[in-house]
Structure 1
Amino acid sequence: MRTQNGLRLGWIVGISFLFALNGCKKGTDPLPANENELITTVTLRFTQAGTANTQTATYQDKDGDGGAAPTKFDTITLTANTSYSLTVDLLDESKTPTVSVTDEVNSKKDEHLLVYATTPAALLTYTYGDKDSRNLPVGITGTIRTGTAGTGTFNVRLRHQPPINGTAVKDGSPTPGSDDVNLNFGLTIK
């Protein structure tokens, strides 16, 4: 009897071991999550309506978050009561050659939303100029109308809003997803 119980125990241990090995096979791990973009440089181009006058404001941190401090973080200076077109250029300069994250956002518009907020809000208004396949805003292009003179901040956020379990989550608001970038540019309207 003792031998029979020992044999049964051996079989149970052996089969359990095989199941454990089978569960750890390579290639059966779940796919990695849809990761955020690394953005080291953000350039905002403000072109005054009816002119070729373009002003740029750039944020640059070539090693990404952490590590060294940003090497460039411009202040935006615009004219009061004036319209501008705004285009955004996003780069990942941690790679060689540099990767255009703008191209990535444009190819996956259904998963990205640039959100602009001004404090105080009266300094300017932003209107989206581009849409995704579901007619929701993207924000790579748009227009700005400045208000009266003053100072504040211009917040630029790129929200990464990939589908969850195959269901789209982007709804035109900044709520779903996570930040690829979140920057507060100093803003002067004069």
Structure 2
Amino acid sequence: MQHAYRRHIAYTGSVLALGSLLMLAGCNKATEPQPADENELITTVTLRFTEQGTTNTQAFTFQDKDGDGGAAPTRFDSVTLTANKSYSLTVEVLDESKTPTDNITNEIKDKQDEHLFVYTATPGTLLAYTYGDKDSRNFPIGLAGTATTGSAGTGLLNVRLRHQPPINGVAVKNGTVTPGSDDVNLNFPLTVR
């Protein structure tokens, strides 16, 4: 009888110890940050510059159908613009690794509070960008805006798409490039003439 009682105590102690461990493991999970949304697979980026006051549109494309790694990009256009002009600039992003092609531009519109395009010319005198769109919290998006060229010269136009999803349900997008990670980071050769 005493042996059965000891086994019952040992069994009860083991169950309590296991329960405590499970509770601690559960508590630790609650304090860990929730994983962020995954970055988009973007294989194609097209910039469309329309000279203001005209219907003259020029399109410049980067295309790498298998994404990062693997084969080299199949297309990487040089951007050529006229000096001292203003252009409406729109961007389209696609995932052409899928059939049919997935238009990621629509996803960015749907999740505009989590995305930010950043356009940076080097040297900075070649081109300045002004945002033409805002998200629900009044932060820029960059799907549409104005590009104003300066004097003639050559350099690079860096186009970055920052993915800035909430962390633990709290928005992190703040209108700067800092939060999040890159969905796209491209250096288009830029000529202003």
TM-score, structure 2 length as denominator? 0.86
Partners of 1:135 and 1:33 lie apart in 2 by 22
Which residue pairs with 1:96 in the alignment? 99
The structure 2 residue matched to 1:149, chosen from 138, 149, 152, is 152
Which residue pairs with 1:72 in the alignment? 75
Q: 1:28-43 alignment to 2 at 5 Å?
A: 33-43=36-46
Partners of 1:188 and 1:61 lie apart in 2 by 22
Which residue pairs with 1:44 in the alignment? 47
Q: Shift of the alpha carbon at 1:134?
A: 1.1
Is 1:127–2:164 an aligned residue pair? no
Q: Shift of the alpha carbon at 1:8?
A: 5.4
Q: Shift of the alpha carbon at 1:92?
A: 0.5
Amino acid at match of 2:59: T
Which residue pairs with 1:110 in the alignment? 113
Partners of 1:11 and 1:40 lie apart in 2 by 58
Partners of 1:104 and 1:37 lie apart in 2 by 9
Q: Shift of the alpha carbon at 1:51?
A: 1.1
**Partner of 1:59: helix, strand, or coil?**
strand
Partners of 1:106 and 1:146 lie apart in 2 by 27
The structure 1 residue matched to 2:162, chosen from 149, 153, 159, is 159
TM-score, structure 1 length as denominator? 0.87
**% identical equivalent positions:** 65
**Partner of 2:45: helix, strand, or coil?**
strand
2:88 touches 2:147 (CA, 8 Å); kept in 1? yes
Q: Which runs of 5+ in 1 are unaligned?
A: 22-29
Amino acid at match of 2:80: T
**Per-residue displacement from partner, 1:115-143 (whole Å, max 9, x unpaired)?**
01110001011000111011110000001
Describe the shift of the 1:14–1:163 C-alpha distance in structure 2 as closer, same or farther (beyond 3 A). Answer: closer
2:44 touches 2:93 (CA, 8 Å); kept in 1? yes
Is 1:86–2:111 an aligned residue pair? no
Which residue pairs with 2:141 in the alignment? 138
2:34 touches 2:168 (CA, 8 Å); kept in 1? no
**Per-residue displacement from partner, 1:81-121 (whole Å, max 9, x unpaired)?**
01111000000111111111100000111110000111000
Q: Which runs of 5+ in 2 are unaligned?
A: 23-32
Partners of 1:151 and 1:80 lie apart in 2 by 11
The structure 2 residue matched to 1:58, chosen from 34, 52, 61, is 61
Partners of 1:139 and 1:107 lie apart in 2 by 14
CA RMSD, Structure 1 to Structure 2 (Å): 2.6
